[in-house]
Structure 1
Amino acid sequence: MELTIEGLSKTYPNGVQALQNVSLAIPAGMFGLLGPNGAGKSTLMRTIATLQEADSGSIRLNDLDVLVEKARVREILGYLPQEFGLYPKVRARDMLAHFAFLKGIINKRERQALVDRILQITNLYDVRKKQLGSFSGGMKQRFGIAQALIGDPKLIIVDEPTAGLDPEERVRFHNLLSEIGENIIVILSTHIVSDVNVLCSHMAIINKGEVLATGVPIEMVQSLAGKIWKKFVEKTELGRYTAEFNVISTKLLSGRTLIHVYSDTNPGDNFEPETPELEDVYFATIKGCFSQNHNLVNQDLAEHRESGSDQAGDEA
């Protein structure tokens, strides 16, 4: 199972170019699409989910043409958008049963068994008879995943799923996504670096509609070894350091301003080496300091396809 996107572009009527020649190869497992707000993530997710048209390019899910065979794609798609509405006075179990019916599960007994199993998976079975309007933010997100799981999907898209969740609910949601993302494609679109760091075996960084980097998170972090430097500075000095160095991030730590700088060599000025993290990869890429594209996902899939072609030739 793989999702292949090639040369996808989209410009809205107001002139905003949301996607610019986007190409990605997404294998089975958890794939993180990381970028700031307005980067084009939601446009890409809606296009993959068959909810809007692209101006050019192609999307294929194995042998399915996503942009053409929309009905077939929707049969095997689970989608949790960034914002979704709920009928507040409808019980969770009844709502899921309705979604299952819309997915074509006509037999009542089969439908109820499926709903109960999904409620168990998402840890909502004990509140199955409660009205959706009484759910907390985390429970609503888990219900969103529950409806996305109906119909045994092969591709699940979740758009900014942990925004607004408290730490405990975020951990629960991480665990849930990890469990369901073992054998199918799960695309996690987010601006929260820690979500990708915890969950995803492959990722891409997107900004202003362009894919800037793709790869395996741990390998992308390792590629920054020896290139991240840190220093505590006074707030009044921040402007000078920003002008003189490639400052990729600033944050308050114990009331002091800590800056991270990208540099291939020691920048001097009493900077200290810092062990890089995925957040450094993200900021360095977004700010244009770190432009090397780690196309490890694309390379792996290309090698896999080439190997498959060779094998087919041998068998022939």
Structure 2
Amino acid sequence: MDNVLVTGSSTGLGLETALYLARRGFRVFAGVRDLGHRPTVLEAAGERGVELTVVQLDVTDSQSVDRAVETIVESGGGVYGLVNNAGIGLRGCFEDLQMCEIRDVFEANVFGTMNVTRRVLPHMRAAGRGRIVTISSVGGRIATFGLSAYISTKFAQEGFGEALALEVQPFGIRSILIEPGIIKTSRWSVNRGNAAHALDPASPYHAMFVNHEALADRFVETRKTRPHHVAKAVHRALTSRWPRMRYVVGRPASVAIALRGLMPDRVFDWLYFGTLLRHIKNDQAAGPAAHPRDPELGASVAASRNRAASGAMAEATYDQIESE
């Protein structure tokens, strides 16, 4: 039975992934920053009829990471899999962000991912096998409005994961990226992660940011992608004999990434980024009543010659994941 460490397992994608993997035969160590979440995780495991081990793990605390990895190694079996899921969100336009907020999101999402990865790699190299699976986002391939710092961390995770894949493959280790689209989790409610000044009425970005958030909230309610779809992709990454470097989760996310590769930059920018900005600016000028139709249908570009592609762009614009 292979040992797998899942970081950020107290809620959302991390918890679902830990439960999914435990159900399918892995010996799962669910990392939680606050052990106060341990009863909730164990209760969820009981409801699924699975067993897992909860370990205290703060990815920004080196001693915490060391203790968690030592616990796994001492239990026997080494570390076969690491699922880098822990992270935080930060919503707000760049000028409305404080540098301390930006540093915090990089500390958790980028340096935290590197911190845990660094500590499991020696054990994987010694075993001559292992999988490092990082939950990135379609936002690590295509940016969106009002998430400049968060998106930057996802682009950084993408670069790290891809470069790491080249370095560790000769040792029998694979680095794999999971890129989900938008999924309704606690990241859209209690863990939303708005910056302190994101909603400051004095900000020149205030009206656009408010409109964007309202539009994003409407989109999240229509998403069909669920946490178990991400967990399934992680399981595939851990078990496939020849895993891909990237797994995109969610149809709109797949469409957006595919179209960016196929379309000239100018066309893609007009359809994808232009659609979003037209929605925000129209809302700013005319208020919520400016959109009698679902924006997912690409109403703002209905007169476009490429109507189908525009609709896909409008739908995919919001397919950014806030990793749990």
TM-score, with structure 2 as normaliser: 0.34
**Whose helix proportion is higher, 1 or 2?**
2
**Whose strand proportion is higher, 1 or 2?**
1
TM-score, with structure 1 as normaliser: 0.35
When Rg is computed on C-alpha atoms for both structures, the one with the higher figure is: 1
